[in-house]
Structure formats: structure tokens, C-alpha cells
Structure 1
Amino acid sequence: MWHSGHVNAPRTPILFIALALLAAAWRPTTAGPAVAPVPRADAPARILVFTRTSGWRHDSIPAALAALKALSAEADIDVHATEDPTFFEQRRLTGYDAVVFASTTRDVLDDAQQHALQSFIRDGGGFMGIHAAADTEYDWPWYGELVGAWFEGHPEGLQRSPVRFEQPGVLADGEAWTVTDELYNYRRNPRTDVTVIATVDESAYAGGTMGDDHPIAWCRAFDGGRSWYTGLGHTPEMYADRLFRRHLARGLDYVLRRTDAC
């Protein structure tokens, strides 16, 4: 006799359906390892302004800092000012686009710090030297080339001279500029190695030693980076001068590679 027992009716395999739905919803991803974010193209440039002195200390340094900060605020540049040479370490310098030596004097960096600055320039960094930056690091030949010429001396007191620009951008057509400042004589005329920006006229004052061709500001591409120097800026009053500030602004643009004109 046939006995009816428990007959299992066919049931839908719930688990398989769930897995099928998950499979349908899944999409392969092409994401690779996490990468560092790319800096914004419109991020502000950053400059390190260095004012350490081991020799004469100019009382115009605070005015230089104030002018550089004001010009930078107008040009979307972040400024960090220091007299601490430990900032000249490769890891720290990578956070800047250019360094500015504002009337530094004599020996301001040790051997390791010198190497860090050299590497920074060779990696494409910018260097801007103001006035006594040429009275700095006499025992470091590479620095002498970076600046373009070392300080030799200067006449007594202040000198008054026209400034004759060889590069456009500072003076408007027909505009003249005469300065009263301490006008350095240099150990050599740098013209053969640099683009001269401006000269002074030794016939207008006593004590010049460079003759008919006396460069006072210049720029150059150097060792992978850019260098810009002005011998002006001894007095605090110079930093309030409209044309001198325009001159400095051109220097910042040049060393930050915002323009090829200096």
C-alpha cells in the first residue's frame, strides 16, 4: 500500500536570487592606489624672505619686509620671513617657489644649508637678492655666480643718480627716475653673464669705480633656476618709492616664472 508522506514542493532558491541581484548591481572599478592631490593651479605662490646678517645690519630691513609683504598681498603671493637658517633644508625649501635675500650680510648659511639652497635652485627655484645680498657669502663661489657680482665698496654717504632702465616695464614712456641711495661698486661688471635691467650714471656723483657702464640691477637664468638682483634699497625711504616698488614687483614676477621679462 502506498503511504503518502511529506512531499517537499519545489522552492525558489532565495540565496541564489540574492547573489544574482548583487552580481547585477556590481560594477568593476578601475581605481588604483590613492594618489596625492594635485596642487591647484591657482594656489598662491610662496616666497621665503631671509634677513639674517653676520656683518652690517641695515635699518631698512623692516621697510623691505613691509614692502615685500604689501606687494605680495597684491599679487597673490604668500610670504614667510625668517632669520632662521634652519629653513634652508631641502625638505623645508620644497614648500617655496622662491627665496629672497633682503640685505643679508656675510656668512649666513653653513655647508649643509648652502647645499640645500643650491639644490633648490637646480630644481627650478627662484632667487631674489636685494642690496646687501651682494655683501654675502664671499667664500662660496657658487653664490657669487647666483647673485652675479659681489659688493666691492661704496662712496661715503648717499649718492644721487638717474637710473637708466635697459628693460621695459618699470618706467612709462618718457618717464625718468632719479634716486638718492647708497650705490654699490661691484668687484666686477656682470654684464657678460646677465641681462642688465638698469644702470646708474657715475658722472652724477663722486666715488663710482665702474666707469661708463655701471649696472645696478640685473637678472639671469642660472643653474636650472632664476636669479634677480637689485643694488638699490639701502634706505628705508626707498621702499616707499613707487618706482622702486614696481621694480621689486617685476623681480618677484620674474623669479616666480610669471614672466620672462625682468
Structure 2
Amino acid sequence: MSRILVYSRNLSFWHPSVVDGVRALRELGAEHDFTVDATEEPAVFRPETLRPYDAVVFLSTGLDVLDEAGRDALRAHLTDGHGWMGVHSASASEPGWPWYDGLIGARFEGHPAIQRTTVEVADPSHPATAHLPARWEWTDEWYNFRSDPRACGARVLLTVDETGYEGGTMGPGHPLAWTGEHDGVPTFYTALGHAPEAYADPAFRGHLLGGLRHVLGG
């Protein structure tokens, strides 16, 4: 049985939806044969503590969530063959760590007010998107990023139609979710997941499950 560590420390804005996200991941684990441990304690990021985990999830983390020993431990753990997944404000984490730049694929720049608009599936062949309709309506914080993750080889899975809301800055193909590989580490990131109700939505839960399957090598 796979074991997942969910980390949700945030020194900028702690999202109330973390509670719902942890609950959703634990319920998915019970349904799909993996276990979930959750923490906000940076001291967990030590080699001996990380050893049992097959993947690490940064769930709405923000700013400097690890100390130097924790960064070393996470990097070693991941480059030893374990996966990593980021959700929502994980792209606003560890701003001074260049290695994390490659791990996340693109850095958070900002977002407009929460709005409802259309998400488009850019790649329907991935487990995180195969269950989704080609276009679906969703309410979230629509993150703008400092760069396009495609520039570092990411495979974009979801985009948002900027013509349907105010405040998009990335133009056509605005990325929302993608997969990649960094130092041999399988990665998955989704910008969705701001609101608590997102984690009760079957489509979004399937999106998260597909991301986990990707970083677990399934």
C-alpha cells in the first residue's frame, strides 16, 4: 500500500480548504488503497521521517515552509525516486529556492477576484483529465504565472479561457495544471482548489486522484 505525506504549512495565507483537502485525500486513499498522513510541521522533513512515503503533496502551502535541512531532505527523498504533487498555492512556496523553481514548473504571479469561467482540457489522455468534459464550468482563483511551464518541458493538462473572466494575463492556452519531471522526479501541479467545496466535487477529486497516480508511477 502506498503512503502519502500531505504538507500544508503556509506563512502567507492559510487556506481553510486545507481541512477539506486532507479529508478528500484520505477518503480517496481509503477507496484506492493508499494511506495519507497530514502535517504542517517542517520538522517532519528529515531523511528518516520521509523514508516511508512514496509521494509528498504540498497542499496550499505558501512562502518559506521548509528550513535548510528540510530542503535537503526533500530533495534527496524525491531524487531517490519518489513523486511530488502541488496543489493551488504550492506555486507560491519556497520563493528563494532555485531547485523548487524546476520542481513546480512555474511560479505564482497573482490572481484576480474569484470568478466562474470555463476550464478547457488540453490533454484528455492523462488520468487527471480523462474523466473530464472538454470544457467545464468552475469557480476558483485564476492564477497567473510568471512564466509558461511549457518552456521547461511541462505537459499542460488544463487551461482556462481568459475571454470568460477578468484579470487573465497569459493569453490563449493559459495553463492551470501540468505534469513534468525534475531531476528524475515525476511531478504534478494543479492551480485549482482554493474553495472548500472544490474537494467535495467528484470531477475535482478525480483530478487529484489522477495526479496522485501520476506521481506514484501508476
TM-score by length of 1: 0.79
Is 2:69 the partner of 1:112? Answer: yes
Is 2:131 the partner of 1:178? Answer: no
Is 2:28 the partner of 1:71? Answer: yes
Work out which structure has the larger RCO, using CA pairs closer than 8 Å and 6 or more positions apart in sequence: 2
What RMSD, in angstroms, separates the aligned Cα atoms of the two structures?
1.4
Residues 103-158 of structure 1 show CA distances to partners (whole Å, capped at 9, x for unaligned) of 00111101111011110111011101000000111000111110111100001233
Q: Which residue of 1 aligns with 2:148?
A: 189
Is 2:83 the partner of 1:98? Answer: no
Q: Which residue of 1 aligns with 2:201?
A: 241
Residues 5-59 of structure 1 show CA distances to partners (whole Å, capped at 9, x for unaligned) of xxxxxxxxxxxxxxxxxxxxxxxxxxxxxxxxxxxxxxx1000000111111111
Q: Which residue of 2 aligns with 1:219?
A: 179
Q: Among 76, 80, 84, which residue is 1:127 paired with?
A: 84
Change (3 A) 1:145 1:74: same
Higher strand share: 2
Q: Aligned partners of 1:126 and 1:210: how far apart in 2?
A: 28
Q: How many residue pairs align between the two structures?
A: 215
Shift of 1:173: 8.2
User: Unmatched 5+ residue regions in structure 2?
Assistant: none
Q: Among 173, 189, 202, which residue is 2:162 paired with?
A: 202
- Does the 8 A contact of 2:132 with 2:203 survive in 1? no
Shift of 1:191: 1.0
- Does the 8 A contact of 2:120 with 2:134 survive in 1? no
Q: Aligned partners of 1:183 and 1:104: how far apart in 2?
A: 17
Shift of 1:159: 3.9
User: Unmatched 5+ residue regions in structure 1?
Assistant: 1-43
The one-letter code of the counterpart of 1:229 is: Y
Structure 1 vs Structure 2: percent identity of aligned residues?
46
Shift of 1:177: 1.8
Shift of 1:240: 1.2
- Does the 8 A contact of 1:64 with 1:102 survive in 2? yes
The one-letter code of the counterpart of 1:118 is: R
Q: Aligned partners of 2:133 and 2:46: how far apart in 1?
A: 46
Residues 53-104 of structure 1 show CA distances to partners (whole Å, capped at 9, x for unaligned) of 1111111111111111111111110111011111110111111000000000
